Amino acid sequence: MSVTPVRRPHRVRSIFISDVHLGYRGCRADYLLHFLESVEARNIFVIGDLIDFWSLRRSVYWPASHQEVLRTLLTRARTGSRVVYIPGNHDELARDLCGTRYGPVEVHRDLVHETADGRRMLLLHGDEFDEDVKFGPLLKRVGEAAYELILGLNHGLHALRRRFGYGYWSLAHWIKHQVPNAVRYIDRFEEAAARHARTRGVDGVICGHIHRPAMREIDGVLYCNDGDWVESCTSLVEDMNGRLAILRWTEQSEVLAPTVEPGVPALEPAA
């Protein structure tokens, strides 16, 4: 009997993922599963919107790959990784569990993580800042409707691109960069997050929520957003020396950031 050889995984200190949106049609569980198989991490931080209960309430969608993501995370927690779950707004039902454990998984409202090089990073989902960036209810509703539409288009476009052999490309991501209002929203969100980190006296913040991966310094605070697994297919990783980077993981994998830190994390094959 032949066994398919598995490439040895990369080894990192921590991975930070958020906005997986299991139960939502646009979730790229396939890329995420491949990422989780390829990377061995001491710490796995899941920073909100792991399960999209909003979408599940509208229609139940739960393919095997979505179940597999949960199974993989639980298996990692049982086999030596520290797995921390910080629920977001789409899975706020789970916020009742904050401060307790779900089996081998720690559940927190937010958490300070110290990197290998001693930086204290505040981990939270990011919907905490919705009030700071609000544009009013009408614009918010229009924005949400447009967003749904864009994700729908993105899904179709991706299927088409795949058929013709092109790699993943995010329409929603592209549009967010084109629309000035969206860009202003992103700026306001990032600034609010950095302000909050400063008042908490930490060196930086790691969040998700806006599906916009980023790593930049804002007034002396390191703002990191690990992105999402609907559009960007990104995670933040910390290497053994505490260096942080944003990885995109689709057919092609690439380092999107750092833009403020020298070097890229050393992705060492596991021994």
**Binding site residues, Mn ion, CB under 5 A:** 49, 88-89, 209
Task: Count CA within 13 A, CB hemisphere, residue 149.
Answer: 7
Chain position whose Cβ is nearest to Mn ion: 209
Q: How far is the CB of 172 from Mn ion (least distance, A)?
A: 14
Nearer to Mn ion, 48 or 265 (CB): 48
- Residues facing residue 123 across a β-bridge: 111, 206
Contact 46, 97 (CB under 8 A): no
Q: E-assigned strands of the chain?
A: 10-17, 39-46, 82-85, 101-102, 105-107, 111-114, 120-123, 204-207, 214-218, 221-225, 234-238, 244-249, 253-257, 268-269
Sign of CA dihedral 208, 126, 206, 262: positive
Q: How far is the CB of 69 from Mn ion (least distance, A)?
A: 17
**Distance from C-alpha of 186 to C-alpha of 236, rounded to nearest angstrom:** 18
Nearer to Mn ion, 227 or 258 (CB): 227
Q: How far is the CB of 226 from Mn ion (least distance, A)?
A: 12
Nearer to Mn ion, 126 or 258 (CB): 126
Sign of CA dihedral 73, 20, 43, 169: positive
Q: How far is the CB of 240 from Mn ion (least distance, A)?
A: 30
Nearer to Mn ion, 49 or 190 (CB): 49
Nearer to Mn ion, 13 or 211 (CB): 211
Nearer to Mn ion, 29 or 39 (CB): 29
Nearer to Mn ion, 85 or 243 (CB): 85
Contact 206, 226 (CB under 8 A): yes
Nearer to Mn ion, 43 or 89 (CB): 89
Q: How far is the CB of 228 from Mn ion (least distance, A)?
A: 9
Six token digits for residue 33: 């599963």
Q: CB under 8 Å to 97, separation ≥6 — which residues?
A: 87, 107
Q: Cβ atoms within 10 A of the Cβ of 59, count?
A: 9
How would you label 186-217 residue by residue, b for 16+ Cβ within 10 Å and e otherwise? Answer: beebbbbbbbbbbeeebbbbbbbbbbbbbbbe
